[in-house]
Structure 1
Amino acid sequence: MVERRQLEYFVAIVEHGGFSHAARALHVAQPSLSRAIGNLERELGVTLFHRVGRQAVLSNAGEALAARARLVLRDLEAFRAAARSLGEGAVGRVDVAATSSSGLEPIVSIVAELRERHPGVTVSVSSADAAAEVVAMVSQGRCEVGVCGSAQRPTGQGLVAHHLRDEEFLLVLPPGTRPAGNGPVVRPGELRGMRFVVTGQTTAVRALFDRFSATVGELTVAAEVSDRSVVLPMVLKGIGAALMPDGWADLARRAGAEVYRFAPAERIAQWLVHRGGPVTSATRAFIDTTLARVQATPGTDAAGR
């Protein structure tokens, strides 16, 4: 019979990149880890790892079963957490995947509410570059919940998606500067000739910049960054303007940047995704808090302008 411990060891080897690293992370002797995996392989009747020298490489069967092992462990934890919650209320940890703008809002506000309503819940947030990565992290069991912006409803086997709101993209300028039109809003044509700090190719913000670049023309890339947390500091230093989701609006204004909305508004749907079926009490608390917050603030305008 396959044991939970064997699945935990298997997933640890996959995530830590080898037997020795996994043994150190789990605080077990490497021979014990090897024996457990050998027993698991015999129980399943497949080879999970190919031993190449001192390296362990996932086999085709190992690749196929890694995500399933994560999901089984998630389901077991959901079962145990449900039992604990009968006497203690929502407790435990929820792993959340989020793109950068979603990691700022609504995640920050949700964590603040959870702290008040469910002090026994801890939130661990993993960063993702794009909505597709968020969906993959939830589908494969690496995270229990995801929050992301996507023009299309996220889909995947066994996934549930809730529309949260329409996130708005804003133009953020260095302190003391104004768009060419000098109006309260900016039209795409007014971007012509401007220099921009842009993010990597996979982000929704970069897709918007590329669209403006193709339709408006004469947009210059002053800097391209993979770490989106440095975009605002570069704007504040005058390196260039930036297109940013509205979750950054308050922070940008407090830092001294000029923030403008587009006319017509540029928006993208923001989604909460999770697997269907049983979830831990901590995950249920996160989902319920998120959806309650949306229902309590219909039509929220985070851009504030």
Structure 2
Amino acid sequence: MERRQLEYFVAIVEHGGFTHAARALHVAQPSLSRAIGKLEHELGITLFHRVGRNAVLSAAGEALADRARLVLRDLDAFRAAARAIGAGTAGRVDVAATSSSALEPVTSAVAELRRHHPGVTVSTSSALSATEVVAMVLQGRCEVGVCGSAERPTGQGLVAHYLRDEELLLVTPPGTAVGTGTSVTPADLRGMRFVVTKPATAVRTLFDRFAATVDDMVLAAEVGDRSAVLPMVLKGIGAGLMPDGWADLARRAGAQVYHFNPPERLAQWLVHRRGGLTAAASAFVETTLALCDQRAD
């Protein structure tokens, strides 16, 4: 079995068929088909059912897809470790992150890596929830994940590092006064209109909890992309609930930012699979943990 065969197998799965995979890999489709046929022969199983021009994963293929991704990750870790011994830390780390975590601490970690490990490239993939981040890491789609979750993320072979408590804030359109000073209570939200994300996110969970006890909270707009919340707030469509990573950007844009009394906080976690990490991933993990420890002090 060759690495190239596993790369072809994973590419077909991720691109939805032989034709798109061949185009993405810049190889001739007959070469791709021969490589997969050889792999099936060596394994003694059928990975894909050919239905006309389409390829559908077999039960065996579904069972092995995630395993193939993990094997490729482990091979990358071995190769990166060998390079790091002689040439310093270098390589690419794929990081899954929810939108608030992509702002902080991921942005600060990337800036720190550029100073101390300029050979490391960070590629981020967005996720809607902590559950999606964990799945992306366990499936091998990303090596590291950063997310907010009230409970410690769990999964077979998963390692979770506590980073910090991020604070959830109220952000209102420019010139909108709420509560007293810079703080608000849930009761101050009565009668307000809100722009919120779709269910399954931490911010939506907070909105739903408030709405269950506070009268006349209005859902003005529901968005799938969290980056659309702040622009809508600035347009006056409604208020928003946002993690503290958005606070500086919201203030600079002219929005009003309020803390809740008592504070609303959510634990933030860094997750990765147990076992060997690539040198680039190790550098990202160590840098992120060090940054959060410094801020805690």
Q: Same fold (TM over 0.5)?
A: yes
Q: Tell me the equivalent position of 1:222.
A: 220
| Residue 193 (structure 1) aligned with residue 191 (structure 2) | yes
Contact 2:182 2:257 in 1 (8 A): no
Residue 260 (structure 2) aligned to one of 243, 259, 262: 262
Instruction: Return the alpha-carbon distance in structure 1 between the equivalents of residues 73 and 57 of structure 2.
Output: 21
Listed one character per residue, the Cα deviations across residues 149-208 of structure 1 (whole Å, up to 9, x for unaligned) are 0011001111100000011100000011111x3333100011010000011111110010
Instruction: Return the alpha-carbon distance in structure 2 between the equivalents of residues 225 and 295 of structure 1.
Output: 34
| Equivalence map 1:1-40=2 (5 Å) | 2-40=1-39
Structure 1 unmatched ranges of 5 or more: 300-305
1:91 shift after superposition: 0.4
Instruction: Return the alpha-carbon distance in structure 2 between the equivalents of residues 272 and 251 of structure 1.
Output: 24
Instruction: Return the alpha-carbon distance in structure 2 between the equivalents of residues 45 and 215 of structure 1.
Output: 59
Q: Tell me the equivalent position of 1:205.
A: 203
Instruction: Return the alpha-carbon distance in structure 1 between the equivalents of residues 198 and 51 of structure 2.
Output: 35
Q: Tell me the equivalent position of 1:293.
A: 291
3-state DSSP class of the match of 2:261? strand
- Report the number of matched residues: 297
Q: Tell me the equivalent position of 1:142.
A: 141
Instruction: Return the alpha-carbon distance in structure 2 between the equivalents of residues 292 and 101 of structure 1.
Output: 19
Structure 2 unmatched ranges of 5 or more: none
Q: Tell me the equivalent position of 2:232.
A: 234
3-state DSSP class of the match of 2:152? coil
Counterpart residue type for residue 277 of structure 2: V
- What percent of counterpart residues are identical? 76
Q: Tell me the equivalent position of 2:120.
A: 121
Q: Tell me the equivalent position of 1:302.
A: none
3-state DSSP class of the match of 1:106? helix
1:42 shift after superposition: 1.2
Counterpart residue type for residue 133 of structure 1: E
Instruction: Return the alpha-carbon distance in structure 2 between the equivalents of residues 217 and 273 of structure 1.
Output: 38
1:238 shift after superposition: 0.7
TM value normalised by structure 1: 0.96
Counterpart residue type for residue 218 of structure 2: T
Give me the CA root mean square deviation.
Answer: 0.8
| Residue 92 (structure 1) aligned with residue 91 (structure 2) | yes
Counterpart residue type for residue 132 of structure 1: T
Instruction: Return the alpha-carbon distance in structure 1 between the equivalents of residues 181 and 296 of structure 2.
Output: 28
Instruction: Return the alpha-carbon distance in structure 2 between the equivalents of residues 139 and 109 of structure 1.
Output: 25
3-state DSSP class of the match of 2:147? strand
Instruction: Return the alpha-carbon distance in structure 2 between the equivalents of residues 118 and 172 of structure 1.
Output: 36
1:46 shift after superposition: 1.2
Q: Tell me the equivalent position of 1:244.
A: 242
Instruction: Return the alpha-carbon distance in structure 1 between the equivalents of residues 122 and 239 of structure 2.
Output: 33
Listed one character per residue, the Cα deviations across residues 3-44 of structure 1 (whole Å, up to 9, x for unaligned) are 111000000001111101111111111011001111111111
| Equivalence map 1:173-192=2 (5 Å) | 173-179=172-178, 181-192=179-190
